[in-house]
A and B are shown apart, each in its own frame.
Chain A
Amino acid sequence: MTPKGEAQPKSVLVIDDDEGIRETLKIVLEVGGYTVFAAENGEEGIDLLRKISKPCLILLDLMMPVMNGWEFLDAIRKDSALATIPVVIVSAYAEQAANIKAQGVIQKPVDVATLMKAIEGWCNLPDRANT
C-alpha cells in the first residue's frame, strides 16, 4: 500500500473523542496511504504532536472532553512549533465552526471523497481514486 511517487508516507493526526469515528477515519486514511495518529482529545493531541514528526494535517473534532477543539486550536496557535500545521475541522456543528480560524471545515456525516480531496490538498498526496 505504498503510495506512488512518495518514498515517505504522509501522516495525519486525527483528534476525535468518539472511538467509532476515530477508528473508522484511521482505517479510511490508512487504506488511502497515510500514516495515521489518533488522539481522544485536544490535550492528548498536543502530547502526541510533541512526540511525532509534524503531520501534514490535523483533522479536529470540536466537542470533546478534557480539552475541546476550540481550546486545542488556541493552544497550538500559541505554540510556534505547532502553529503552522494546517487544521481541518471535522464536526457535526459546521455552523459553530464558522468563525474559527482553521484551514477548512468538513461537516459530519463525512463524505469520503471530500475528505480525501481535502487531505490531498494539504498533504500533496494524490487521491488514488484519480490516478
Chain B
Amino acid sequence: MKRLSIGIVLPPVIAFLVAEIAVNALLLRPFGLPRILISSLIDAGVVLVVLYPVLFRFYHRHAARDNAERKRLIDDLKRSEARFRSVFEQAPFSIQLFSPDGTTTDVNSAWKNLWNVDQNIVDNLVLGKYNILDDPTLAAKGIALLIAKAFKGEAAETTPILYDPADIGKPGRPRWVAGYVYPIKDDRDNIREVVLMHNDVTDRENALRELEKAIRLRDEFLLIASHELRTPLTSLGLQIQLLNRMAEQGTLASLTKSRAGALLKISQQQLERVSTFINDLLDVSRIGAGRLTLTIDKVDLPEVIQGVVDQFKAELSKVKCPVTVRADPIMGNWDRMRVEKIIVNLLSNAMKFGAGKPIEITARMEGENARIAVQDHGVGVAKQDQTRIFERFERAVSARTYGGLGMGLYIVRQIVEAHGGSIRIESEPGSGATFIVELPVKPMVTAKKP
C-alpha cells in the first residue's frame, strides 16, 4: 500500500521538478547550469515540504479507495471460484471442460473416478493434451457428431453408451454412461468453453436390462405355461367330446371295457399332471414372495429315494432308464414332502434329458451334510448354462425340443437353500449331467413346527 501511494505521489513530484527546472532555466539562464539546478531543487524542496501533507493525504485516500475496490473484486472472484470449484468437484457426475479448439481445460473428481485415473495422469495426459475432436473412439461409439455439434454451438444429449475399461487396457467393470454436452457462450455468442457431463447410469441400465429379461421370461413362461396346461386339457377335452359324440350317435354301448379303462386311466394321469403343475406354480409363487416354510421332521433319506424311484417305475421302464440306487442309511431333519420333491424333480430331469440311458442315484454322508447325487448320461449341460438353469423359468434347451417350464431346478435349488444346503451340477455336454445336492442333516433354518 505504501509503495502504491508513493507510486501515485511520485509522478506529479517529478513533473513539478521538471517544470521548475524549465522555469528556472528561463529565469536564471545567465547564472549558469549549477545555479539553475540548485535553485530548482531548493524551490521544489520548499514546495514539497509545504504541499506534502495535502498531496499525500489526497493521493492516499484515492489509492485506498482503489485498493479496497480491487480487494473486493479479488475476494468476490475467489469466492466465486471457490463456489464453482466446490460444486464442480462435488458434482456426482463427471464434468469435463474444453476450450473451443477441443482441448481439455478442466476435469472434476467424478471424472477421475469414472475413468479411474489419478491427478498425475490428469496433469500429464489430459489437461491441455486430450482433444475430444481428435478422439477416434467417439466415432465408433456414435457420439462424435453430437460432440461436434456442441462445438458448433448446439447442446446435445447422448443415449447411454457402454464403456469397457478393457478397451483402453484398463481394469474395472464396464459401465453405461449417458452424456450431456453444451457450449458456454459470451455476450456476442462466441463459444468460450464446451462442457461435457457424463452420468454413470450403469445401475439404471442394468435394472432396465433385468426388467427386459424378466418381461421376456414372463412372456416365455406364459407361452409355455399355456402349452403345459393345454396339453392335458386337450387330452381331457378330447375324451369328453368323444363320449359326448358317441352318446349322441347312440354308440356308447360299443365302447369296450378295455377302451373305457384306458380312457379313465389317461384322464386320471392328465388330472394329476394339472394338479402337479399348479402345485409347482404355487411353490414358485411362494418362493418368489419369500413364503416358503418348511415342516421339519425326521426323514429317512434312502426310504424317500426308493419311494420316488418306485413311484416312477412305469415311466422309467417306458423311457428305458434303468436306475441304480446306492444310499447309505441317513436320517435328516428336513421337510419330507420337499425332500421328496427334490428327488422327483432331479429324477424327472434325468429321465427327460437322458432317456434310454441308465441313471444312478447315490446318497452318503460327507461331514455334516447328506450328499445326494443324481447322475444321468444324456445330453448334458453346456458350461455357460450351468448357473442359469437354476434360475426361475430358465432352461438350457429350446422349448421346441423339450417342454417344461424351467421351474423344476429352480424349485429344487430354493428347497435346498431353505434347508441351508447347496446344489451344483457337474456336466460335460453330450456325456450326461450329475446334480449334487448337499443337505445339512441338522439344518439351520427358521422352521415351522407342524
Contacts and interface: CB of A to CB of B under 8 A. Distances in A.
Do A and B come from the same complex?
Answer: yes
Interface of A: 1, 17-21, 23-25, 27-28, 30-31, 62-66, 68, 70, 92-93, 108-113, 128-129
Given A20-B235, A110-B237, A129-B249, A70 B263 contact: no
A15 B403 CA distance: 15
B226 interface: yes
Given A20-B270, A128-B249, A28 B401 contact: no
Interface string B254-269: 1100010011001001
A95 B105 CA distance: 60
Nearest to B223: A93
Contacts of A31: 242, 246, 251, 255, 259
Contact of A63 (B248, B262, B401): B401
Contact of A24 (B249, B266, B402): B266
A114 B240 CA distance: 15
A21 B234 contact: yes
Contact of A108 (B231, B239, B248, B355): B231
A39 to B, nearest CB: 14
Nearest to B254: A1
B430 to A, nearest CB: 15
A112 B403 contact: no
A20 B232 contact: yes
B72 interface: no
A21 B239 CA distance: 10
A23 B231 CA distance: 12
23 contacts: A17-B403, A19-B269, A20-B235, A21-B231, A21-B238, A23-B266, A24-B238, A24-B239, A24-B263, A27-B263, A28-B242, A31-B251, A63-B227, A63-B401, A64-B401, A65-B352, A65-B401, A66-B401, A92-B230, A108-B230, A108-B231, A109-B233, A113-B245
A94 to B, nearest CB: 11
Given A27-B262, A63-B401, A68-B401, A129 B245 contact: yes
A62 B248 CA distance: 32
B338 interface: no
Contacts of A108: 230-231, 234
B238 A110 contact: yes
